[in-house]
């Protein structure tokens, strides 16, 4: 695709649309050239527009569409697949100034927000009203627009589902500049193709989200977490289906190996996961949270859960039943990515999702690749839904040596995941980094359908080029 470069006249027109909020040349903050996985490349846009309204975004899109200027939407830039990196230059359309919580409808349990509101902001604000926004991705400082664009999951997905399950309606600016409204606050619909669901997870390739109506639920009154150490990863993962067989319904169910726990606790500066219990070394852990509205009921649940896991080979069950203990238990888990990044020079990541029963054999295979490709492998993930975060890392190699090894590693990982009935991404998206792997995983026909859908929304292919299904 031949795109135009931004002329001084076009920059002037952009400045007229968003006065004082258009940046070019050396005025562009270097953070706008990358997301949090710089291994997929950095790219500086020709101009940054920090948009303030739906109408401004519509005007920017119309101008860029007419002049074939590529536009890349960007929230907080916390993505991990290069989805918000402007690889074709053009305009980077930043939504972080649109950060207002517009209104609550407490009777219908919805909230309407601008796309630049941070997940953490909504979580705290809704909690102060006794409400919960259930999606809980690890990155709390991502924007809600970004969360919807990637259908972000997170740790509570095992009980409450992903972001998709909480989007009731949205306003979208199409690449042509038209403004559309999708969905509504009603509870059910059978009204034609769900463009709303098509937009969710489309990673800013079909339209720019400018307003969202999201579903909330009453905040559970009580939560309690369990740290469950195991002598090996196999017995740890093998326990997972037992939670569901016994009608236990955890809010979060995470697994982690000993190595990553040690790294993360060193990073956080606090040790809470036991290393040795009654002379038995812990090699793997489950970290589980249950929620409910009654403390006694919850006590009965954790007793039952403990019975189940101890029978399945857990060494012990530790109970985080105070705010401080819960906070400390989850602090290590929440810092895994930062801990890995802090002690790794080069890394690449995938977030495949496999059937829960295949987690253990899949991890075994992934670890066996350490020797084959010559990279250190770290992994953790959402045991309850089979979504795994797997990192290949190196501190010794130069980037030119690392990249082909990482590619070999990722290729093997995705082939295996597909064989086991898995998917390329559970929650991070495809962005730029995973495009070739998606094509291999879903096949030609599915890719063709996605490409054709892309063209219907974006006939000039100006919106977020080079991402998801549209290869440059």
Partner 1 sequence: MELLVCIKQVPDDTVNVTMGADGAPKLDDIAPVVNAFDTYALEMAARFKEANGGSVTVLTIGGEGAVPALRSCLSVGADRACRVEEASVCDPQGTAYLLSQASKKAGEQPFDVIFCGSESTDAASGQVGAQLAETLGLPVITNVLALEPKDGGISAKQETEDGYRVVEAACPCVVTIVKPDYEPRYPSIKSKMAARKMPVAVLTAADAQADASKFGPEAAKVQRAAISAPPQRQSGVKIQEKEAAEAVRRAMEIMVGQKLI
Binding site for partner 1 (CB under 8 A): 23, 27-29, 226-227, 270-272, 274, 299, 302-303, 306, 316-325, 327-329
Q: How far is the CB of 33 from partner 1 (least distance, A)?
A: 13
Q: Which is nearer to partner 1, 182 or 309 (CB)?
A: 309
Closest CB 307 distance from partner 1, rounded Å: 9
Which of 3, 5, 47 lies closest to 26, judged by CA?
A: 47
HSE-CB at 413 with a 13 A cutoff on CA atoms is 33
3-state secondary structure of 23: strand
Residue with Cβ nearer partner 1 (18 or 302): 302
Nearest approach, Cβ of residue 126 and partner 1 (Å): 15
Question: With the CA atoms of 25, 29, 33 and 36 taken in that order, what torsion angle do they form, in degrees rounded to the nearest 10?
Answer: 180
Closer of 53 and 306 to partner 1 (Cβ)? 306
Question: Toward partner 1, which CB reaches closer, 37 or 228?
Answer: 228
Nearer to partner 1, 270 or 448 (CB): 270
Instruction: Say which residue the tokens 């190196």 belong to.
Output: 394
Between 242 and 412, whose beta carbon lies closer to partner 1? 242
Q: Name the phi and psi angles at 346, rounded to 5.
A: -130, 135
CA proximity to 236, closest of 307, 286, 280: 286
Helix (H, G, I), strand (E, B) or coil at 410: helix
11 or 212, CB closer to partner 1?
11
411, 403 contact by CB (below 8 A): no
DSSP letter for 217, please.
E
- To partner 1, the closest distance from the beta carbon of 32 in angstroms equals 10
User: Shortest approach of partner 1 to residue 124 CB, angstroms?
Assistant: 9
Q: Which of 31, 40, 32 is nearest to 348 (CA)?
A: 40
Least distance (Å) between residue 28 CB and partner 1: 7
Q: CB 121 → partner 1: shortest distance, Å?
A: 14
CA nearest to 467, candidates 65, 34, 88, 2: 88
Produce one character per residue of 267-289: b if its CB has 16 or more CB atoms within 10 Å, e if not.
bbeeebbbeeeeeeebbbbbbbb
- Kindly state the tokens that stand for 117: 């509101």
Please give the angle made by the CA atoms of 337, 339 and 341, to the nearest 5 degrees: 70
């Amino acid at each position: 695709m031949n795109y135009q470069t931004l002329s001084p006249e076009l920059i002037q027109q952009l400045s007229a649309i968003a006065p004082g909020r258009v940046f070019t040349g050396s005025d562009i903050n270097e953070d706008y050239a990358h997301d949090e996985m710089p291994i997929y490349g950095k790219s500086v846009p020709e101009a940054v527009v920090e948009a303030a309204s739906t109408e401004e975004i519509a005007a920017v899109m119309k101008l860029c569409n007419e002049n074939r200027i590529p536009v890349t939407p960007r929230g907080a830039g916390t993505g991990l697949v290069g989805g918000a990196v402007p690889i074709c230059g053009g305009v980077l359309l930043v939504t972080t100034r649109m950060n207002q919580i517009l209104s609550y409808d407490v009777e219908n349990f919805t909230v309407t927000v601008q796309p630049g509101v941070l997940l953490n902001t909504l979580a705290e604000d809704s909690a102060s009203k006794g409400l919960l926004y259930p999606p809980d991705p690890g990155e709390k400082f991502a924007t809600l627009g970004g969360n919807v664009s990637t259908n972000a999951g997170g740790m509570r997905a095992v009980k409450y589902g992903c972001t998709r399950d909480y989007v009731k309606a949205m306003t979208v600016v199409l690449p042509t500049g038209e403004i559309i409204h999708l969905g509504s606050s009603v509870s059910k619909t059978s009204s034609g193709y769900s463009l709303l669901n098509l937009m969710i997870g489309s990673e800013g390739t079909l339209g720019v989200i400018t307003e969202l109506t999201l579903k909330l639920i009453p905040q559970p009154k009580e939560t309690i977490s369990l740290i469950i150490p195991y002598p090996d990863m196999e017995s740890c993962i093998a326990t997972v289906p037992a939670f569901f067989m016994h009608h236990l319904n955890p809010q979060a169910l995470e697994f982690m190996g000993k190595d990553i726990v040690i790294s993360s606790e060193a990073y956080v500066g606090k040790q809470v996961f036991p290393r040795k219990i009654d002379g038995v070394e812990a090699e793997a852990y489950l970290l589980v949270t249950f929620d409910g509205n009654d403390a006694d009921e919850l006590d009965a649940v954790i007793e039952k859960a403990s019975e189940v896991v101890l029978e399945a080979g857990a060494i012990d069950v530790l109970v985080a039943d105070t705010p401080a203990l819960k906070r400390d238990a989850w602090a290590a888990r929440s810092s895994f990515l930062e801990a890995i990044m802090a002690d790794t020079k080069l890394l690449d990541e995938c977030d495949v999702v496999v059937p829960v029963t295949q987690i253990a054999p899949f991890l075994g295979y992934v670890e066996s690749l350490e020797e084959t490709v010559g990279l250190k492998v770290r992994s953790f993930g959402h045991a309850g839904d089979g979504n795994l975060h797997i990192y290949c890392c190196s501190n010794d190699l130069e980037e030119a040596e690392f990249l082909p090894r990482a590619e070999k590693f990722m290729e093997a990982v995705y082939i295996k995941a597909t064989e086991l009935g898995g998917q390329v991404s559970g929650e991070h998206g495809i962005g730029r980094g995973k495009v070739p792997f998606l094509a291999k995983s879903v096949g030609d026909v599915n890719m063709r359908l996605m490409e054709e859908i892309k063209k219907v929304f974006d006939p000039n292919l100006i919106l977020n080029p080079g991402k998801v299904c549209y290869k440059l």
